[in-house]
Amino acid sequence: MPPAVARPNILTDPGYLWVAPIGTAEPTATVAGSKLTDAIPVAWIPLGATTEGSTFTYSSEVEAITVAEFFDPIQYATTGRSGNIAFNLASWTLSNYRRALNGGVAALTPTGTAGTEVTTLEPPDPGTEVRSMVLWQSTDDTVRILLRQTLQGGEISTAFQKAPSISAIPCTFNMEVPTSGAKPWKMWGAGTSRV
């Protein structure tokens, strides 16, 4: 007789994204009814909709340690780790484009009077990029992932096409070791269903 298989605890839907300056207070992760119920601190800015959700990636590189007397590795050692979160922002604004540029020399306060405002954006000089914190939370409020220090490093390639296609701002926020000394990322699971 085959073994009984428990119903999997799946995770669906795109979730929500926020961005904040480095050093912003982390959410406290209050849970009630097996859901994250705390309000995200106001310093966190919602990034809005994405074209297809987001992808959190974390990888470890390992190398084999070998000796002449054995054909097989006698051990593996971690030689590197890296991670990121990637998404395409559907809200095509200069504020989101500025985030994708890691700052930018910008006058994001419009100039002019009602109906004649002009807002400008230019890329930052190399070495003046601004790091960000990124927060993702599942749509069902049971999982949260915090990336404590990131630098957007993907290609910003926006296609301007006929509808129903939309123009998006692709972002890949790459994790760094935070200057605070904390781990690069933290994950919360609400209640016991995500243990």
pLDDT of residue 158: 86
Whether 91 has a pLDDT exceeding 70, the answer reads yes
pLDDT of residue 17: 98
Q: DSSP string spanning the chain?
A: -PPP-PPP----S--EEEEEETTPPPP---EETTEE-SPPPTTSEE---EEEEEEEEEEEEEEEE--TT-SS-SEEEEEEEEEEEEEEESS--HHHHHHHTTS-EEEEEEESSTT--EEEEEPPPTT----EEEEEE-TTSSEEEEEEEEEE-S-------STT----EEEEEEE---TTS--SEEEEE-TTTT-
pTM for the predicted model, two decimal places = 0.90
How many Cβ atoms from other residues are within 10 Å of residue 174's Cβ? 18
**Residue whose C-alpha is closest to residue 23's, from 132, 127, 130, 128:** 132
Specify the range with the lowest mean pLDDT, choosing from 42-51, 61-70, 96-105, 164-173.
96-105
Domain ranges of the chain: 16-22+29-189
Contacts of 172 (CB under 8 A, 6+ apart): 84, 85, 86, 152, 153, 154
Q: What is the C-alpha to C-alpha distance for residues 61 and 58, in angstroms, rounded to an integer?
A: 10
- What pLDDT, in 10s, does the model give residues 121-153? 889 999 999 999 999 999 999 999 999 999 999
Share of the chain above pLDDT 90, in %: 75
Whether 106 has a pLDDT exceeding 60, the answer reads no
